[in-house]
Amino acid sequence: MDMHGELIWNGPEGHGFGFGKQEYLDEDVLVWWNGTTYPEPIGRGNGAVYMLNRHYEQIHETTLAGNFVEHVPNATFPSNIDLHEIYITEQGTMIVTGNNVTQTDLASVGGPSDGWVVEAQVYEIDIATNDVLFSWKSLDHLDALPFTSSVYPLGSEGYTGENQSLAWGYFHINSASPYDGGYVLSSRFLCSAIAISGSGDVKWVLHGREEDDFTHNPGTEFCYQHDIRAFPKQPSQTNTSVIELHMHDNANSPIENNTIPTSGKSLVVDLSAKNVTLQTQYLNTSGPIYATAQGNYQPLPNGNVFLGHGWIPIFEEFSPEGEILSTIQFGHAGTLPPEEAGGYESLPRSETALSYRAFKQEWIGCPRTKPDVVVERQQQQQQWTRESHWEGGAGGGVTVYVSWNGATEVDAWEIYGGAGGEGDSSHGGREENKLSHLTTVPKTGFESSAPIDDESVEVVQVKPVMKKRRRQQQGQDDGRREKGSKEIEWGCECEVVRSELITV
C-alpha pair distances (Å), 321 with each of 233, 242, 269: 17, 20, 19
| pLDDT attached to residue 419 | 87
Same domain, 436 and 316: no
Is 171 inside any structural domain? Answer: yes
Domain count, the chain: 2
Same domain, 416 and 299: no
Same domain, 374 and 340: no
Is 26 inside any structural domain? Answer: yes
> What is the spatial distance between Cα 437 and Cα 462, in angstroms, rounded to a whole number?
10
Same domain, 29 and 75: yes
Is 323 inside any structural domain? Answer: yes
pLDDT tens sequence across 357-367:
999 999 999 99
| pLDDT attached to residue 387 | 43
Half-sphere exposure of residue 242, counting CA atoms within 13 Å on the CB side? 11
Cβ count near 157 (within 10 Å) = 13
Same domain, 261 and 171: yes
In our burial notation (b when 16+ CB lie closer than 10 A, e otherwise), range 77-109 reads bebbbbbbbbbbeeeebbbbbbbbbbbbebeeb
Same domain, 333 and 456: no
**Strand pairing of 215-216 and 275-282?**
parallel
Same domain, 321 and 454: no
pLDDT tens sequence across 376-402:
998 654 444 444 444 444 457 999 999
Question: Which residue segment(s) compose the domain that 178 sits in?
Answer: 16-345
Q: What is the mean pLDDT of each run of 10 residues along the chain (504 residues)?
A: 92 93 97 96 96 98 97 96 98 98 98 98 98 98 98 97 98 97 98 98 96 96 98 74 97 94 98 97 96 97 97 97 96 90 90 94 97 87 42 68 98 93 42 82 96 93 90 44 49 89 93
| pLDDT attached to residue 468 | 86
Q: Which of 402, 428, 410 is nearest to 495 (CA)?
A: 410
**Strand pairing of 344-345 and 334-335?**
antiparallel
Q: What CATH number has the domain bearing residue 89?
A: 2.120.10
Same domain, 219 and 304: yes
Q: What CATH number has the domain bearing residue 451?
A: 2.60.40.10
| pLDDT attached to residue 492 | 74
Same domain, 370 and 285: no
Is 1 inside any structural domain? Answer: no
Same domain, 305 and 406: no
| pLDDT attached to residue 393 | 45
> What is the spatial distance between Cα 404 and Cα 37, in angstroms, rounded to a whole number?
31
pTM of the model: 0.90
Same domain, 459 and 338: no
Is 119 inside any structural domain? Answer: yes
Is 446 inside any structural domain? Answer: yes
Is 7 inside any structural domain? Answer: no
What is the side-by-side strand order in the sheet with 296-299? 296-299, 305-308, 314-318, 324-329
Is 127 inside any structural domain? Answer: yes
| pLDDT attached to residue 422 | 37
Same domain, 445 and 316: no
